[in-house]
Chain A
Amino acid sequence: MANIEDNSYNNFYDSELIVEFLQGLLPGDLHLKIQEQIEGSEMFRTYVEGVQINFEKSGKDREKMEASIAEKKARTLQQLKRETTLGEKLSYTLAQLQAFFLPNPQLELALQPTRMTGASASKIAIDNATEILTLNLGKTTTEVIDFELFDNKIQSIEKHKIPANVKDFTLSISSFHPGIYYAQLSVDDATPYIVRFYVREDLNPE
C-alpha cells in the first residue's frame, strides 16, 4: 500500500466511497483510514472537496452526480475529437486547402452531358473513417470498365480495370490529400462518364 503522500492510483478512493464516507455509512476503521488520508495529503483533500461540491450540486443524489459526470465526460471527448479534426485542418495552409478543393472547369463541363442524359447510375461513396472509396455501378455490365481517378489538375492518380459482372468496386484512398477529385468510367470508344467526389469534404474551407 502506498504511503499517504504518494499520488499513486490506490491513493484516490473512488467517488462512490467518498460519498459514503461523507454520509457516515462506512465502518469505523475504513472511515478513519480515509480521514487520515484527507489530513495527510493535500492532493487527496482537494479531490475529496471536489467530490463533496459535485455531490451537493447534484442535490446529494449520487446517481444524479454520476449522470452529470458521464455527460461532461462525453462532451469533453467530443471536443477532443473535434479539435483533432481542426488540428488536421491546420496541418494544411488555407491556401493549400482552397487549391485542393477548387473545381476544375474543364472536368466540370464534362460532367454536364452525362448528368443530363442520365447515362449511368454509377455512384461514388467515400468513407473518410476507413479511407475507402466505393464505386457502385448500379447494375452489372458485361463489359470491362476502365476506371481512372484524377485530381483537380487533371493529373491521373490511379487507373483500374473493373472486370465484367461486378457491381461494386472499392479501393483505398489513404494516400489521397483532402480535396475535389474526378472519376472517369469508360467502356471501349463510348463517351466517358465522369463523376465528381470529395475526400475529407469537412476540411473544405468554402
Chain B
Amino acid sequence: MKDRHLLEIWNRYVTTGDEIAFMEVYDTFYEDTLHFATAKCRNSHIEVSEVVSEVWDKLWSKKPPIKESIHGYIIRTTQNTFIDFFRKSNKTESYDDPKVVITQTVATAFLEKEEAEQRDFEIQECLEEKDYKFIREMADSLKFGYTKQETYEHLSKAFNIAINTVRNNRNIIMKKLKTCRANRSK
C-alpha cells in the first residue's frame, strides 16, 4: 500500500521534476540506503557516504521510471552502486558478492521458540497490564505487515490517544522494559 503510494509519488517526480515528490521518497528511504550501504562497505575501504550520495544522485538526476517496488529498486541501486565502487577500487579482482554472514551480535539476538515464549512471559512480568496490552497490539500490527506509520495510526485509534502520545508511550515502555530486563539479569 505504502509502496504503491510512493511509486505514484516517484513517478510524479519523474514526469514533472516536482522536488516535493522527490523529498517524500528521499525522507522515506534514505535511512534504508544508509544502513544497507554500511553493511556492504564494512570490509572494504569504500566510504559509505560516497555510495549513498551516488545512489541518490542517480535517482535525482536520471529520474528513472520505476514500475514495480520502489523500495526494491532503490535497494538494488544501492547494491549495484556498491559493486561499481568495488570494481573501480579493486581493478585486479572481479567482484564476487560475498554472502552476508550473520554477525555474532545479531546471531546472539536469535531465539529458539521456547526462548521466545519465555521472553513473552518476562515482558508480561516487567510491564503493567496496560503497557503490555499496548506492546502486544503494536507487535500484532507490525507482525501482520503494517508499516510503522500505519501501526501508530492503528494504536492511536485503539487507545484513543494522539499519534505523538503513541510514539512517546512506545519509548517509555521500551525504557521500562530495558531497565527491568537489565535488573533481572544482574
Complex alpha-carbon distance, A87 and B63, angstroms = 15
A39 contact set on B, CB distance < 8 A:
102
CB contacts under 8 Å to A, within B1-33, are 2-3, 6, 26, 30-32
Q: B71, A72: Cβ atoms under 8 Å?
A: no
CB within 8 Å for A8 and B53 given contacts A42-B100, A49-B103, A54-B34: no
Q: B148, A7: Cβ atoms under 8 Å?
A: no
Complex alpha-carbon distance, A78 and B67, angstroms = 28
B38 part of interface (Cβ distance < 8 Å): yes
- Chain A nearest CB: distance from B150 CB in Å? 10
A33 contact set on B, CB distance < 8 A:
143
Q: A29, B139: Cβ atoms under 8 Å?
A: yes
B110 contact set on A, CB distance < 8 A:
35
The size bracket of the interface on B is 35 or more
A2 contact set on B, CB distance < 8 A:
145
Question: Which of A10, A30, A84 is close to B147, meaning CB atoms less than 8 Å apart?
Answer: A10
Complex alpha-carbon distance, A24 and B75, angstroms = 27
A10 contact set on B, CB distance < 8 A:
2-3, 145-147
A202 part of interface (Cβ distance < 8 Å): no
Q: A87, B143: Cβ atoms under 8 Å?
A: no
Question: Which of A6, A9, A25, A45 is close to B174, meaning CB atoms less than 8 Å apart?
Answer: A25
Q: A31, B116: Cβ atoms under 8 Å?
A: yes
A98 contact set on B, CB distance < 8 A:
none
Q: A27, B105: Cβ atoms under 8 Å?
A: no
DSSP majority for the B interface? Answer: helix
A121 part of interface (Cβ distance < 8 Å): no
Q: A46, B34: Cβ atoms under 8 Å?
A: no
Q: A28, B136: Cβ atoms under 8 Å?
A: no
B135 part of interface (Cβ distance < 8 Å): yes
A30 contact set on B, CB distance < 8 A:
139, 142-143
Taken residue by residue from 175 to 186, chain B's Cβ proximity to chain A (1 for < 8 Å, 0 otherwise) reads as: 001100100000
- Interface residue count for A (Cβ, 8 Å)? 55
Q: A27, B135: Cβ atoms under 8 Å?
A: yes
- Chain B nearest CB: distance from A125 CB in Å? 24
- Chain A nearest CB: distance from B59 CB in Å? 9
Question: Which of A16, A77, A87 is close to B148, meaning CB atoms less than 8 Å apart?
Answer: A16
Taken residue by residue from 65 to 82, chain B's Cβ proximity to chain A (1 for < 8 Å, 0 otherwise) reads as: 000011110011001000
3 closest Cβ pairs, A-B complex: A28-B116, A50-B35, A7-B72
Chain A positions within 8 Å of B, measured between CB atoms, are 1-2, 6-17, 20-33, 35, 38-39, 42-43, 45-54, 56, 69, 72-73, 75-77, 79-80, 83-84, 87
A-B contact pairs, 24 of them (CB 8 A): A2-B145, A9-B2, A10-B146, A11-B71, A16-B148, A22-B109, A27-B119, A29-B143, A30-B143, A31-B111, A32-B113, A35-B110, A47-B75, A48-B106, A49-B102, A49-B103, A49-B106, A50-B38, A50-B39, A53-B38, A54-B38, A73-B34, A80-B57, A84-B61
Extra inter-chain contacts (19) besides given A8-B72, A69-B31, CB under 8 Å: A7-B72, A8-B3, A15-B35, A26-B119, A27-B120, A27-B135, A27-B139, A31-B119, A38-B102, A43-B75, A48-B106, A52-B106, A54-B35, A54-B38, A72-B34, A75-B49, A76-B49, A84-B60, A87-B61
